[in-house]
Amino acid sequence: MQYIPTNWDIPYFNMALEEHIVGNPEFTDNYFFFYVHAPSIIVGRFQNTVEEINADYVRDHHIYVARRITGGGAVYHDGGNLNFSFIVNAEGHGGGFETYTRPVIAAIRALGAEATLSGRNDILVDGKKISGNAQCVRSGKLLQHGTILFDSNLDDLVRALSVNDMKIISKGIKSVRSRVTNLKEHLPEGITIDILRARILAEIAEEYGMQTFTLTDEDIAAVSQLAAQKFAKREWNYGRSPAYSFCNKKKYDYGLVEARLDIRGGTIRDMVIYGDFFAKGDLNEFTALFADAPYSRESLAGILKKNHPGEYITGMAMDDFIELVYVEQPMG
């Protein structure tokens, strides 16, 4: 494993570094790095940003908003949140989260807290979430990254994020604050975020071996350019919000999925899908298949027979998709 020391605290640069490594064929090894951000909200690749954030609070408190290239849900970062990224060769990887959360969990346990991997992608301590993880596969590489709430301002976390009621109800909880915790509260006194960082590095070195990899000046220039031209842009971080005449939202085991369709004269003119799911294919490519198609169950089923939604949204069945986007009375 190649460890990359970095010190960017603005999220656009770290999102750009991940894409730079994933998309650059010269990075042929396996890589790992940490990052700690200034107050930021990091939204998932397919989320509707305006519905995930408390815009007034974000503006008033100068909180960065950044979109990552993986799916999953929005997370809050600040100086008390240690984040990590693995970028490895995807061949032979089963797609689960266990492999690259294992050294993180081992480090937490070694420091005195009983951490476990739970659900899709969470690490829990004493039944509360201290880490969320996300991943994607592109260009033959797996990117898996995650958060660790170590000593984060949880009041800011709650106020900055706007969590959908369906997610809260589905988990049987009364508030976001009730299901998250800071790891520091569960560790012996004196354990710092730097001690945690060092322990994670030690666990990774023991399991995979480790060398230090230094980014070149050319790499840094490329990352800076990518940050400025893509990841800092409002178009990337907020995306498009087309007009729509139909909207439906469903909570499935694999995530919250929302469909918005512009339907005119019984024809689908546009379709956008949002959510905290994970995806395997190009979702824009998938939704484009429905442009100018008749808005009927038969039409939808015919397209899905040749293009299974599970090839784009991990876990989605054909019936799930039809249930999401179709009602018996056409609109428009």
Whether 207 contacts 110, CB under 8 Å: no
Together in a domain, 195 and 70:
yes
Q: Say if residue 25 is in the same domain as residue 120.
A: yes
Check whether 59 has a pLDDT greater than 50: yes
Q: What is the CATH number of the domain that holds 48?
A: 3.30.930.10
Kindly state whether residues 174 and 320 are assigned to the same domain: no
User: Where residue 177 falls among pLDDT bands split at 50, 70, 90?
Assistant: low
Full-model pTM: 0.88
Six token digits for residue 192: 């710092």
**pLDDT above 70 coverage of the chain, percent:** 93
In-domain check, residue 331: no
Same domain, 65 and 105: yes
> Model confidence over 157-168: pLDDT tens digits?
999 998 654 443
Q: Is the predicted pLDDT of residue 186 greater than 90, yes or no?
A: yes
Please compute the mean of the pLDDT values over residues 278-300 and round it to a whole number. 93
Whether 120 and 223 map to the same domain: the answer is: yes
29-38, 220-229, 246-255: the lowest-pLDDT one: 246-255
Task: Give the least confident one: 55-64, 142-151, 261-270, 274-283.
Answer: 274-283
Both 217 and 125 in one domain: the answer is yes
**pLDDT number for residue 120:** 79
Query: Average pLDDT in the 82-102 region?
Result: 90
Average pLDDT across the chain, whole number? 92
Can you give the pLDDT at residue 170? 42
- Considering the domain architecture, whether residues 178 and 218 belong to the same structural domain is answered as yes
Q: What is the pLDDT of residue 168?
A: 39
Q: How many domains does the chain have?
A: 2
Banded model confidence at residue 313, pLDDT cuts 50, 70, 90? very high
Domain match, 253 and 222 both: no
Q: Which of 75-79, 135-139, 226-230 has the lowest mean pLDDT?
A: 135-139
In the structure, what pLDDT confidence band is assigned to residue 92 with cuts at 50, 70 and 90? confident
Last residue of a domain, which of 204, 238, 272?
Answer: 238
More confident residue, 91 or 95: 91
330, part of any domain? no
| Same domain, residue pair 164 and 270 | no
The verdict on residue 332 lying in a domain is: no
Question: Of 238, 270, 304, which one is at a domain's C-terminal end?
Answer: 238
- For residue 270, give the CATH number of its domain: 3.30.390.50
Across 305-311, average pLDDT: 94
Range of the domain at 276: 246-325
Q: How many residues does the chain have?
A: 332
148 shares its domain with 183: yes
Answer yes or no: is 320 within a domain: yes
Same domain, 44 and 180: yes
pLDDT at 134: 95
Of the residues 177, 206, 238, the one at which a domain ends: 238
Residue 255 lies in a domain: yes
Same-domain pairing of 217 and 262? no
